[in-house]
Amino acid sequence: MESQANITDIVNNFPGLPPFPDDVSTAPLLRLSLGKLLAEDIHEFERLFQASVEIGFFYLDLEGSQHGTSLLRDADELFKVGERLFQLSLEEKKKYDFSAQNSYFGYKGQGAAVVDQQGNLDRNEFYNISKDDIMGVSEPLPAPEVLHQSRKQTESFMKGSHAIVELILKILNDKLSLPEGTLSNLHRLKAVSGDQVRFIKAPPQPADDRRTALGQHTDFGSVTVLFNRLGGLQVLPPGAEAEWVYVRPLPGHAIINLGDAMVKFTNGLFRSNIHRVAAPPGIQGDSTRYSLVYFARPEDNVMLRRLEGSDLIPPIEEDQVEEAINSKDWIIRRALGRRVDLVKNVDYDKSAGTEQMSRRIKV
């Protein structure tokens, strides 16, 4: 992996927010450029492939291309929407908790999910907006006025993020020498899928009781486009001896990571790295943390199994059994399986993803 020297030359902190401390360990993620990927820079394609195999997380520099700067503008607007959304009363927000209908769209209150095997509860709120709702592929869900008013911005952010996902999938498809369009045909913008935008708010935690706000997990889908501004996101690099390290937020960048579906499609060639959200480090811990995420997932009926057609994808081993599960069922199991308000006795392991495979520890 590259050293972090290449990020010291950019503006490291977000205006109006306390700085990320210099004395905590950070993940040396590759910093890729959207402009270079769009210009078909083959060295940049190679780095994307490398990041997908080695850790499954990287920064994407969005400055310097029109697509990137317009996505950054949309993200800025939606950060403001997220603040207004979470300011609504709890009573109002709870009207949009659709989990009882087996849906992971809408509101999730703080403390609704367990974050570890000990049963500790999460410390953040979510609001998930369905791509299909915004794109007119499904019936619109009830939503608070602030979200009705920002539908156009949400649509623009979704399209911009989805286009980045498509670009990444196309490059990885070519790198794997899969038949043209294999990956993008499983992620069509107008097909029914669990793609969503997520707003997250984590309030400051008491100084003497700072814990995990969002439990360790791998993302469920294919490609995640994440915007955050305060530290707190941590990744667990591969290997038995690995320790949690922070991902330092960088202005002008998205953090991109691969999810379980990409691990399954490539039978473990690509990684879906384990990550979690801890309290923001140092003086950042006194501020409210917001994130904005676009999760791209395979279309609902896509089976999550090894793809045929690439010599680079390892074959299924003799003692390996592939579970027959489609994208929709996988996501519901993972998204709702750790909800204490829905499941009587949460079986933490039953709703696990590809963590074991991603840790690259042979058992």
Ligand X SMILES: O=C(O)CCC(=O)C(=O)O
Name the residues that contact Fe ion, by CB under 5 A: 219
For residues 226 and 269, which CB has a smaller minimum distance to Fe ion in the complex? Answer: 226
Choose the contact partner of 81 out of ligand X, Fe ion, none; CB within 5 to 8 A by kind: none
SS3 224: strand
The residue among 352, 284, 247, 274 whose CA lies nearest residue 55 is 274
Q: What is the binding site for ligand X (CB under 6 A)?
A: 198, 200, 214, 219, 226, 228, 233, 275, 277, 291, 293
CB atoms within 10 A of CB 209: 8
For residues 261 and 313, which CB has a smaller minimum distance to ligand X in the complex? Answer: 261
Closest distance of CB 206 from ligand X, Å: 20
The residue among 147, 151, 138, 146 whose CA lies nearest residue 103 is 138
b or e along 277-293 (b: 16 or more beta carbons within 10 Å of the residue's beta carbon)? Answer: bbbbbeebbebebbbbb
Choose the contact partner of 293 out of ligand X, Fe ion, none; CB within 5 to 8 A by kind: ligand X
For residues 158 and 176, which CB has a smaller minimum distance to ligand X in the complex? Answer: 158
Closest distance of CB 203 from ligand X, Å: 13
For residues 36 and 217, which CB has a smaller minimum distance to Fe ion in the complex? Answer: 217
185 burial via Cβ count (<10 Å: 0-12, 13-18, 19+): middle
Closest distance of CB 152 from Fe ion, Å: 26
Closest distance of CB 258 from ligand X, Å: 12
Closest distance of CB 145 from ligand X, Å: 25
The per-residue DSSP string of 31-89 comes to EEEHHHHHTT-HHHHHHHHHHHHHTSEEEEE-TTSHHHHHHHHHHHHHHHHHHHHHHS-
CB nearest ligand X: which residue?
291
Choose the contact partner of 291 out of Fe ion, ligand X, none; CB within 5 to 8 A by kind: ligand X
For residues 165 and 214, which CB has a smaller minimum distance to ligand X in the complex? Answer: 214
Cα 203 from chain centroid (whole Å): 20
